Structure 1
Amino acid sequence: MRMVFRWFGDGNDPVQLKHIKQIPGVEGIVWALHDVPVGEEWPMDKILAYKRQVEPFGLHLEVVESVNVHEDIKLGLPNRDRYIENYKKTIEKLALVGVKTICYNFMPVFDWIRTDLFKELEDGSTALFYEKSKVSSMDPDELVRQITANPDFTMPGWEPERLKRLAPLFEAYRNVKEHDLLDNLRYFLEGIIPTAERNDIKMAIHPDDPPWTIFGLPRIVTGQDSIRRILSFVDSPYNGITLCSGSLGANPSNDILAMVHEFADRIPFAHIRNVRVYGNGDFIETSHRTADGTVDICEVVRAFHNIGFTGYTRPDHGRHIWDERCRPGYGLYDRALGIMYLWGVWDTIERMKRGGRK
């Protein structure tokens, strides 16, 4: 298990590289060029500038999250080939600076969705919260009006120009069904995986978050069956999955341990985090500790250890604790605590397997 930490860059992230470096066992950052419009080829000068900024801290840049996929590719529009070519050129450039894994998603319009970015937990900390009934009853047009009316609204991982195009995007997806989106993903993968193979970069699709249909938009990366189907589109170790225990764990019927074992050779990247799921379908993100949520993080880590996992791992979303001012879900403190919890479980398993004291 190779521990990495997501960082949004100077000016976008209050967390400092010198502090990330102090978290035991962290060897690299998970990064992206968030100022490059989605679909455009990443400029080499900006990639190299990022590299020069990070490397003095002894951290590598082997994981990118994300090279976002243009909506025209997801929609299967005629000009998708131009954006796929740009994507391939970006893969080639990233290989030159040592990138080994690209995490991406294929979610229409939205990436991850929450109804409250700072919901208070029992201990006074706050976390990302999803209220299922609110989303189910929400009029998409009203949601678009609320978001576009607030010029300061941001969501981590969302490119800013997407927020300006919500209304036409909803209209574009009105008649797109699940099978259409799957066909367009297959077309995308058939286009980019040969380039990924030549450049030794593994593509790792992220599950839908949450893993069910929202606002009538199709969702296609929701569980074991759908992941199996997607990995079969291009049968290559370079067509992989980012196994996210939090996204998949929002649906208690998902068997995360079974997925770790079945897809063992197709998981270059893992997001390990906990989530507490309520009986009505609501969920809130918690500490990584198994007892605090619904996902058995100890068993998830054990499963990764059992398959001999040597891929990249990050703690993913954390709570907001100790009055930290940070991007929603992406503070320093709780993610650092999460890393130490994951290492504690991992090291205990290692010791027990070596016959150490129990």
Structure 2
Amino acid sequence: MARMTRRSWTGTSAAIAAAASISSPRRVYGMRQGKFTIAHVLGLNQPERLKLCLQMGVTHVVSSPSVRGVSRDQYAAAIRKHKEQWAEAGFEVAVHETMTPVPANNIRRGTPGREEELKNWSAYVEAMGQAGIPVLCYNFGQGGMRTGRITLRGGAISTVHDYAETRKLPVLDEVYTEDQLWEGLAWFIERITPVCEKAKVKMGYHPNDPCVSPYRGSAQIMISPAAYRRLFAIADSPYNGVTFCQGNFASMRYAPGETMYSVATEFAERGKIQFVHFRDVDGKADSHYYETFHDNGPTDMARMLECYARGGFVGPLRTDHAPAMAGEDSGHNAGYAMLGHIFAIGYTKGLMQARNLAYD
């Protein structure tokens, strides 16, 4: 038997695509109302991860292409080329998860220059539509940090957010009031939604992460179900919606009689969920929480999948923020080491099959 070398194992994008073409046909399990497209965050420079995903039957990608430094009239060409590169590797682009694919500082501030930024956003959305990429995950917030690490079962490493520690940090360089943020967001949504409708690109606003306000001296607004209802009311369109990041929604505080399950069902039935980040946390953002294994947190994960599906959600889902496992670097790009996601994807598919929920 020939010895397998690293080179022969990784191969090239073309070899990976060829492997995909001869794989067994993917099974699509019985549908109730909804259907999930399982996708994963990947880079074209990660051949081992690409091959692992193809072997797991994951052929859709969540990508983050950059057009920084690209002239507006070249956005379409850049995004089309990016999609073609993924197709050569055996993947279909399901989502662009680029929180601000082009700058939005003046939009956020409501300052001169926001009209030019809006033109850039409009051109980006139009380019996505021309390339047939259906969902953009975005966010205008200023969070995104964790304050530490925690050891889970068997020595796996996950992340922690402690709001008391966050409050000790310096005030951000730019701080905003809630009124400023809502004014800027409303101005943007009113103008970008018609562009999305024409381009057939759904925009899903990701919650502020962590879901707290104030955050380092600045207000944050997308931290509650009520905030999302206000967002939806700005432009009542199926193209104006939410990236339902389950970890963030689990860490929110809810009104009496309201739960994450009821909110997920409501938003799905309204056609407002564009994209699901499937993960779990233990605790609340305004105190302390940590990210758990997908099978070991407080949320009934199977019930959440049923909330989405029975509500009629049809769209992409990715496992999110898995713990780093044995042999993996827990400090670099926390939550995105591969072994935890292999476990999470298998677990998620198992839940879907057990509940007879459709996916591909």
Do both share a fold (TM > 0.5)? yes
Q: Does 1:269 align with 2:278?
A: no
Aligned with residue 89 of structure 1, among 123, 141, 158: 123
Q: 1:41 to 1:240 in 2, by over 3 A?
A: farther
**CA displacement at 1:261 relative to structure 2:** 1.5
Q: 1:278 to 1:210 in 2, by over 3 A?
A: closer
Letter aligned with residue 91 of structure 1: V
**CA displacement at 1:199 relative to structure 2:** 0.7
Aligned with residue 4 of structure 1, among 33, 39, 53: 39
Letter aligned with residue 177 of structure 2: K
Letter aligned with residue 115 of structure 1: T
Letter aligned with residue 243 of structure 1: F
Q: Does 1:22 align with 2:55?
A: yes
Corresponding residue number in structure 2 for 1:157: none
**CA displacement at 1:252 relative to structure 2:** 5.1
Q: Map 1:1-358 to 2 at 5 A.
A: 1-10=36-45, 16-24=49-57, 26-34=58-66, 36=68, 43-66=75-98, 68=100, 69-107=103-141, 110-116=142-148, 118-140=149-171, 170-173=172-175, 176-213=176-213, 214-251=215-252, 253=254, 255-264=259-268, 265-277=271-283, 281-289=287-295, 292-325=296-329, 327-350=333-356
The answer (yes or no) to whether the contact 1:209–1:248 under 8 Å persists in 2 is: no
SS at 2:55 equivalent:
coil
TM-score normalised by structure 1 residue count:
0.81
| Residues 46-55 or 275-284, more deviating | 275-284
Q: 1:321 to 1:87 in 2, by over 3 A?
A: same
Q: 1:267 to 1:41 in 2, by over 3 A?
A: farther
**CA displacement at 1:280 relative to structure 2:** 8.6
Looking at structure 2, the residues matched to 222 and 281 of structure 1 have their Cα atoms a distance apart, in angstroms, of 14
**CA displacement at 1:15 relative to structure 2:** 5.8
What RMSD over aligned residues (CA atoms) do the two structures have, in Å?
2.5
The answer (yes or no) to whether the contact 1:31–1:65 under 8 Å persists in 2 is: yes
Give aligned-pair identity as a percent. Answer: 26
Letter aligned with residue 131 of structure 2: V
SS at 1:350 equivalent:
coil
Looking at structure 2, the residues matched to 23 and 81 of structure 1 have their Cα atoms a distance apart, in angstroms, of 44
The answer (yes or no) to whether the contact 1:252–1:277 under 8 Å persists in 2 is: no
Looking at structure 2, the residues matched to 180 and 112 of structure 1 have their Cα atoms a distance apart, in angstroms, of 20
Q: 1:237 to 1:37 in 2, by over 3 A?
A: same
TM-score normalised by structure 2 residue count:
0.80
The answer (yes or no) to whether the contact 2:104–2:140 under 8 Å persists in 1 is: no
Q: 1:33 to 1:42 in 2, by over 3 A?
A: farther
Letter aligned with residue 47 of structure 1: I
| Residues 183-192 or 121-130, more deviating | 121-130
Looking at structure 2, the residues matched to 332 and 85 of structure 1 have their Cα atoms a distance apart, in angstroms, of 37
The answer (yes or no) to whether the contact 1:39–1:70 under 8 Å persists in 2 is: no
> Residue deviations 1:50-74, cap 9 Å, x none?
2232112331113100150522211
Q: 1:229 to 1:278 in 2, by over 3 A?
A: closer
Looking at structure 2, the residues matched to 198 and 131 of structure 1 have their Cα atoms a distance apart, in angstroms, of 42
Looking at structure 1, the residues matched to 340 and 71 of structure 2 have their Cα atoms a distance apart, in angstroms, of 33
Looking at structure 2, the residues matched to 204 and 115 of structure 1 have their Cα atoms a distance apart, in angstroms, of 26
Q: 1:241 to 1:15 in 2, by over 3 A?
A: farther
**CA displacement at 1:39 relative to structure 2:** 11
Deviation >6 Å, runs of 4+: 38-42
Q: 1:66 to 1:83 in 2, by over 3 A?
A: same
SS at 1:106 equivalent:
coil
The answer (yes or no) to whether the contact 2:265–2:307 under 8 Å persists in 1 is: yes
Corresponding residue number in structure 2 for 1:154: none
SS at 2:336 equivalent:
coil
Looking at structure 2, the residues matched to 135 and 125 of structure 1 have their Cα atoms a distance apart, in angstroms, of 24
Letter aligned with residue 135 of structure 1: T
Q: 1:278 to 1:51 in 2, by over 3 A?
A: closer
SS at 1:240 equivalent:
strand
Looking at structure 2, the residues matched to 268 and 139 of structure 1 have their Cα atoms a distance apart, in angstroms, of 34
SS at 1:323 equivalent:
coil
**CA displacement at 1:191 relative to structure 2:** 1.4
The answer (yes or no) to whether the contact 2:161–2:285 under 8 Å persists in 1 is: no
Q: 1:187 to 1:42 in 2, by over 3 A?
A: farther
> Residue deviations 1:80-138, cap 9 Å, x none?
1101101100111111221001010121xx2412112x432242111121122211223
Looking at structure 1, the residues matched to 282 and 76 of structure 2 have their Cα atoms a distance apart, in angstroms, of 42
**CA displacement at 1:42 relative to structure 2:** 6.5
Q: How many pairs align?
A: 313
**CA displacement at 1:319 relative to structure 2:** 0.8
